Amino acid sequence: MEFHGRGLCDSATPPNDQEETDLRRGPWTRDEDLLLLNYVSAHGEGRWNSLARSAGLSIGLRRTGKSCRLRWLNYLRPDVRRGNITLEEQLLILDLHSRLGNRWSKIARHLPGRTDNEIKNYWRTRVQKHARQMQFDVNSKQFEDMVRSVWMPRLVERIREQKQQHEQKKPPRSLESSCSYSESVETQLSPPPPPLPPAMAPESFVSDVDDDVCGRWMELEQGESMWSVEDILWLQQQL
DNA sequence: AAACAAGGCAACCGCCACCGG
DNA sequence: TCCGGTGGCGGTTGCCTTGTT
């Protein structure tokens, strides 16, 4: 879906007179984006409040420092990655969330190009929705256990299926040497994340993933929704 | 075609930790 | 030690798009 939401207004509709004299709020215009981009490329990140003051005086960017920072981090930063959350990313988010909880910024550090806001939105709109559909409290131990013991293995299964379909369409190519799931996460998604607490996943699950996830994190660009109707039926059979 | 509902996501808000004076 | 400024973080809001009736 091509959606700019509150994030981008057409610059042909300028703010009204009252807003001209005050700090602006709401959607950013293309002109504002350009001003911020130019300023950051010239002066670098950080010191957002002084940036806002300076830019407000000199180039007419009437935004708070907080607003500038948020716009830069979530939208304008050159390494921001857009598009669907891939199956591998879904798996990683589930895994990390089970260990870290709602520490979105920490989770985001393990997914290059993804912002904490994006991951948070993904969790709230997709994961919580399906938890509700299955009548689970998303904060319960029961839900966490099911994510680890049922949903994550299912995701791995789907990754495997996707891989097989992928390889049927492409000439075979050698994979990197096999490594564990956790190793693959640590090495494929730079920058290197801080050490995680010991995995709570059953050993069978961890070993299950070994050769399947390793070496393929960057291959599959196009994700799909986490749970289809078939998935939910399948899960219900497992319970 | 219009009205409505649901989904998705950018942006805001309030709190907190950190740092320098 | 205190205090104000600043930036980071998680929760929440509100608007646009898409799907359905």
Length of chain A as a residue count? 239
Mean pLDDT of A112-131: 85
Answer left, alpha or beta for residue A215, where phi above 0 means left and psi between -120 and 50 means alpha: left
Q: What pLDDT does A171 receive? A: 59
Q: What pLDDT does A88 receive? A: 86
Mean pLDDT of A22-32: 82
Q: What pLDDT does A32 receive? A: 86
**A146-150, A181-185, A225-229: segment of lowest average pLDDT:** A181-185
Q: What pLDDT does A9 receive? A: 38
Q: Which residue has the higher pLDDT, A229 or A166?
A: A166
- Whether any strand B atom is under 7 angstroms from the Cβ of A26: the reply reads yes
* Three-class secondary structure of residue A235 per DSSP: helix
Give the Å distances, CA to CA, from A214 to A37, A144, A162: 36, 24, 14
Mean pLDDT computed over every residue of chain A: 65
* Cis amide prior to A191 (ω within 30 degrees): yes
pLDDT digits (tens, 9 = 90+) for A130-167: 777 777 777 777 887 888 888 888 888 888 888 888 77
- CA A181 to C1' B5, in angstroms, rounded, equals 41
How is chain A split into domains, by residue range? 5-76, 87-238
- CA A85 to C1' C17, in angstroms, rounded, equals 19
Q: What pLDDT does A79 receive? A: 81
Greatest CA separation for chain A: 64
Q: What pLDDT does A169 receive? A: 73
Query: Whole-angstrom Cα distance, residue A39 to residue A52?
Result: 10
Looking at residue A233, what DSSP letter applies? H
- CA A116 to C1' C9, in angstroms, rounded, equals 9
pLDDT digits (tens, 9 = 90+) for A51-98: 877 777 677 788 888 888 888 888 888 888 877 788 888 888 888 888
For chain A residues 22-81, those near strand C by a CB cutoff of 7 A are 46-51, 65-66, 69
* Greatest mean pLDDT range, A45-49, A192-196, A207-211, A233-237: A45-49
Topology (CATH) of A5-76: Arc Repressor Mutant, subunit A (1.10.10)
* Three-class secondary structure of residue A118 per DSSP: helix
Q: Which residue has the higher pLDDT, A159 or A182?
A: A159
